[in-house]
Amino acid sequence: MPSMNTLPDAAGLPTATVLLKPKRARPFFGRHPWVLDSAVLRVEGSPADGDVVDLATHDGTFVARGLWNAASRLRVRLYAFDPAVKLDDALWRTRLEAAVALRRTLGLDDRAGAARLVNSEGDDLSGLIVDRYGDYLAVQVTALAMALRLETLADQLMDLVGPRGILLRGAERGLSKLEGLQLPDRVIRGAAPSGPIFVTEHGLKFGVDLTAGQKTGYYLDQRDNRHAAARFARGRRVLDMFCYSGGFAVAAAVAGGARGVLAVDSSAKAAALAKANADLNGAANVTVETADAFEKLDALREAGERFGMVVLDPPKFARSRAALDDALRAYHRINRVAIDMLEPGGILVTCSCSGSVSREDFLQMLGGVAQRARRSLQILECRGAAPDHPVSASCLEGEYLKCVIARVG
């Protein structure tokens, strides 16, 4: 692995050309940013990992410009499709500016709130994720090329956003390995907050532990889904399964006016966060339990419990296409139990964050559950991640979150 002090070519011009196999250029003319090793015919030149390279057809026609990583199956990540564009510091700055401006347009620049400022491919910055929590930024790097440019990016973020601190959070372990990347969590600018940060989301307050939480500390992608689900909670008894820090539970109880909420997570730490967030918002009717969802769902059903609304927001069940069938079975199982416990006219809020489970797969799974349970299921809303998680139309792999709100007859 190259030293983290290696300064990439400041000129941003290619040091090598990567030629594609015949008939393999179409996705990249279509602006897809990932060039897999299997598409590469040969390399002219000897780029170091992180260097700028040009991508060309087998007979040398320019296709795109990107950054090289011999250690990754994702051999080149593309950042420009015009030979006049240099991959230099000015380009990163322009991209960061555009990303920050978009969040302003979305009304997500309130310093009391939290927002994803940079969403990797969705902001033409493959391999970089930046979340803002109040006055702090949490950065995740999933590409070696971005890791090598971290100092520049951190300076630019300080300049553009002016946070009190920037924290580097480890990417998902599997991902880091694929890139030949090992970045320990650390403070890269300013200071870390001394305790949890409190952020506002649709008028509610949530504590976020930036140094030890899951993801970059909080599930920002579900912000608007928590709000949307709460609209259906009035007067109902709600089950929030896989509650993490209690976002759906607190929204249902406080904003939604639920009669009572049971929130469950297998992590004791998460359950404690959920309890603290319920208290913070004065939600006295939220009960939090630490339990395994599969066991707890079965136990609740066996005990004859009934709910007016069930939220299912499990972790990623399918890590790959190969795991798809197992994942669909697991989704089927939890959704079946949820439906069995829903009173007639009850609301199911069911989510999947597995990218390899398509929206269609997920809806079909729900159809199967309705059939088995002999209940009608009306889909009211088919939602995705909040708009500060934009998806590039050229890289639909960025679309992972499904959140279906349905009425169960």
Catalytic sites, residue numbers: 353
Asked if residue 266 binds ligand SAH (CB under 6 A), the reply is yes
Stretch of 118-126, 182-190, 290-298, 375-383 contacting ligand SAH, by CB under 6 A: 290-298
Stretch that binds ligand SAH, among 26-34, 72-80, 286-294, 341-349 (CB under 6 A): 286-294
Total binding residues toward ligand SAH, as defined by CB under 6 A: 20
- For 85, other C-beta atoms within 10 Å of its C-beta total 15
Output the CA torsion sign for 149, 151, 152, 156.
Answer: positive
Q: Which is nearer to ligand SAH, 157 or 220 (CB)?
A: 220
Cβ atoms of 354 and 322 within 8 Å: the answer is: no
Binding mask 157-196 for ligand SAH (x = CB under 6 A): ----------------------------------------
**Least distance in Å: CB of 104 to ligand SAH?**
25
For position 201 contacting ligand SAH by CB under 6 A, the verdict is no
Q: Are 263 and 245 in contact (CB under 8 A)?
A: no
Judged by CB under 6 A, does residue 242 bind ligand SAH?
Answer: yes
Residue nearer to ligand SAH on the CB measure, 211 or 266 = 266
Rounded-to-integer distance, Cα 135 and Cα 106, Å: 18
Nearer to ligand SAH, 68 or 248 (CB): 248
Q: Give the residue with the Cβ less far from ligand SAH, 243 or 385.
A: 243
Using CB under 6 A as the binding rule, whether residue 267 contacts ligand SAH is answered as yes
Question: Judged by CB under 6 A, does residue 271 bind ligand SAH?
Answer: no
Choices 53-61, 124-132, 265-273, 329-337; region in contact with ligand SAH by CB under 6 A: 265-273
Q: Which is nearer to ligand SAH, 28 or 400 (CB)?
A: 400
Per-residue DSSP letter, 85: -
Interaction between residue 243 and ligand SAH (CB under 6 A): yes
Q: Is 292 in the site for ligand SAH (CB under 6 A)?
A: yes
Q: Count the helix, strand and coil residues of the chain and give each as a percent rounded to the nearest 5.
A: 35, 30, 40
Long-range contacts of 188-192 (CB under 8 A, 24+ apart): 188/139, 188/150, 188/151, 188/154, 189/154, 189/157, 189/158, 189/163, 189/165, 190/158, 190/163, 190/164, 190/165, 190/166, 191/164, 191/165, 192/136, 192/165, 192/167
- Rounded to 5 degrees, φ, ψ at 296 are -65, -40
Other Cβ atoms less than 10 A from the Cβ of 370: the count is 20
Minimum separation from the CB atom of position 247 to ligand SAH (A): 3
Give the residue ranges of DSSP H helices in 216-311: 223-230, 247-250, 268-280, 293-302
State in angstroms the smallest separation of the CB of 219 from ligand SAH.
4
Candidate list 244, 307, 317, 400; residue touching ligand SAH; CB under 6 A: 244
Closest CB to ligand SAH among residues 270, 385: 270
Strands (E), 222-373: 237-241, 260-265, 286-290, 307-312, 342-352
Residues lying near ligand SAH in the complex (CB under 6 A) are found at: 214, 219, 222, 226, 242-245, 247-248, 265-267, 270, 292-294, 313-315
